Amino acid sequence: MSQSPSLAVTRHPPIRDQIAAILRNAIVNLDFTPGQVLVERDLCERTGASRPSVREALRQLEAEGLVESRNGRGTIVRVLTPREVDDLYEVRAQLEGFATRLFSTRATPDQRRKLHEALTELERATTSGADRSPRILAAQNIFYGTLFEGAGNPLLEQVIQGLQVRVAQLRATTLTAPGRAEQSYREFVQIVDAVDAGDEAEAERVAVEHVRNAARVMSDVVAAGPAEG
Amino acid sequence: MSQSPSLAVTRHPPIRDQIAAILRNAIVNLDFTPGQVLVERDLCERTGASRPSVREALRQLEAEGLVESRNGRGTIVRVLTPREVDDLYEVRAQLEGFATRLFSTRATPDQRRKLHEALTELERATTSGADRSPRILAAQNIFYGTLFEGAGNPLLEQVIQGLQVRVAQLRATTLTAPGRAEQSYREFVQIVDAVDAGDEAEAERVAVEHVRNAARVMSDVVAAGPAEG
DNA sequence: CCCGAACAATCTGTCAGACAGTCTTGAAGG
DNA sequence: CCTTCAAGACTGTCTGACAGATTGTTCGGG
């Protein structure tokens, strides 16, 4: 074990990855709005990195589908057409349903316990005060994370999380629909109930239904007002 | 078409993309073997591009899961563990089954016709002479391409093709199993039959089964002899 | 006063060169 | 034969640079 004494634990994550993480976060949080041009020198100044590093990060995000490179005219935050949003939700429904099914058969007791904890926090968040959206989103993320991890297929988890990131910009919107947060919470309860009952078919069904409902709400919201105030 | 006379058609696809395509191709064709170190300067010389461009291409391939960056020790062609191969096939089965279902309900007459043509070529390839593997693989690619495109969900298509690329290195191996090519062809026929009959459930089922069979063969081959001669 | 063209300011795509830090390798020494 | 140390090889990253493309602007004409 010539391994050095675990001191240098975090051996500098590459700068490009740090930048990618920062930008990913900014896009998801709508600090950068869809369609916005990402000027490289700008990003350099903000992050303190050089252009090569920034560009490598952008290539990574491009492959993830978060940004789009317009040949010669720079990189912009990806704008999703309604059609693409539908496609995204369709794939999500399928994969998240599948993951939920796998969870119900493969998850360890520990993972099942964590799922319950996540559900509890989700309830608290949903019944909390005025500006509850961020807390609900955070709780949902933990719930989803636990669910997908417990499916026992890291690749599946990675693919799904990739899709989740791409719709993350929209999730906040969905929650603004009146009653959606409560409805959503009820659906999460259904998922956990089915999982607890060991009914994998039902677990998959409700998970699929959950995504479809979200898609429906999303369509309605978008149809009502495409732009934000 | 007001397309200009195909003179300035190719508005320079970015060099980084060309390199990414070259490397992707080389990896899929096993010109670069899994685990092989991709030395940047080497790639520069071979492609005539500069290091920044090569590195951007590598970042792209990394996000696609084809290569892996080992912090400080360079980039290598991704090596798949048996476990990861299983995971890959599990997700493929689910998604390709879904795509096949969608094809059977959404595909245009034209796309259905193309699928039949692809099947015909696949038959010819399968019953062709000694070195038929490349031809079979090419025919399969066309068949798959048609199938996934006809599912009418570009995102789904893109995700599946991403997975396909990641197992492409292994597909040649699968075909070496005695009788697998013929078995595989029969499964493709089943898929087309189900699609023709408009039986979406059956179409999904046989497509899933097809991937599972491929996975099984793959496991056997890998178990028999992990390295190639 | 509105419209189109020449012009200037930007910005991207790409390259060359450089340098510290880290790994690997091979040689020297126990 | 195994351990230790120094040379060489690469990566990760930065600076500086430059041609070409795009965009916004200004200026003259209708």
Q: Any idea what DSSP says for residue B37?
A: E
Considering any atom of strand C, list protein residues whose CB lies within 7 Å. Answer: A 11, 37-41, 51-52, 55, 69-75; B 12, 14-16, 48-53, 71-73
Q: How many Å apart are CA A63 and CA B62, to the nearest integer?
A: 9
pLDDT in tens, B166-192: 999 888 888 888 888 999 999 999 999
Confidence of residue A225 (pLDDT cuts 50, 70, 90): low
Q: Quick one: which residue's CA is nearest to D21's C1'?
A: A72
Closest approach of B96 to chain A, Cα-based (Å): 11
Q: How many Å apart are CA B171 and CA A191, to the nearest integer?
A: 37
pLDDT in tens, B87-97: 999 999 999 99
Confidence of residue A11 (pLDDT cuts 50, 70, 90): low
State residue A12's pLDDT score: 74
Instruction: State whether B155 and A60 contact (CB < 8 Å).
Output: no
Residue A175 CA and nucleotide C5 C1' are separated, in Å, by 51
pLDDT in tens, A63-111: 999 999 998 889 999 999 999 999 999 999 999 999 999 999 999 999 9
Q: How many Å apart are CA B49 and CA B16, to the nearest integer?
A: 9
State residue B161's pLDDT score: 97
Instruction: State whether B91 and A156 contact (CB < 8 Å).
Output: yes
| A-B C-beta contacts closer than 8 Å | 74
Lowest mean pLDDT among A125-129, B8-12, B80-84, B197-201: B8-12
Task: For residues A152-169, give the mean pLDDT.
Answer: 96
Read off the pTM. Answer: 0.91
- Collapsing DSSP states into helix, strand and coil, what is residue A68? strand
Total H helices, total E strands in chain B: 9, 3
Nucleotides, chain C, CB distance < 7 Å: 11-18, 21-24
> Of A59, A61, A75, A204, which to mutate for an interface test with B (greatest number of B Cβ within 10 Å)?
A59
State residue A178's pLDDT score: 86
Instruction: State whether A95 and B95 contact (CB < 8 Å).
Output: yes
Task: For residues A26-38, give the mean pLDDT.
Answer: 93
State residue B172's pLDDT score: 82
Closest approach of A66 to chain B, Cα-based (Å): 12
* Distances, alpha carbon A89 to alpha carbons A83, A162, A171, A228, B151, in Å: 10, 12, 11, 21, 15
Residues of A in contact with B87 (CB under 8 A): 153-156
Closest approach of A40 to chain B, Cα-based (Å): 14
pLDDT in tens, B116-140: 999 999 999 999 887 888 999 999 9
- Collapsing DSSP states into helix, strand and coil, what is residue A75? strand
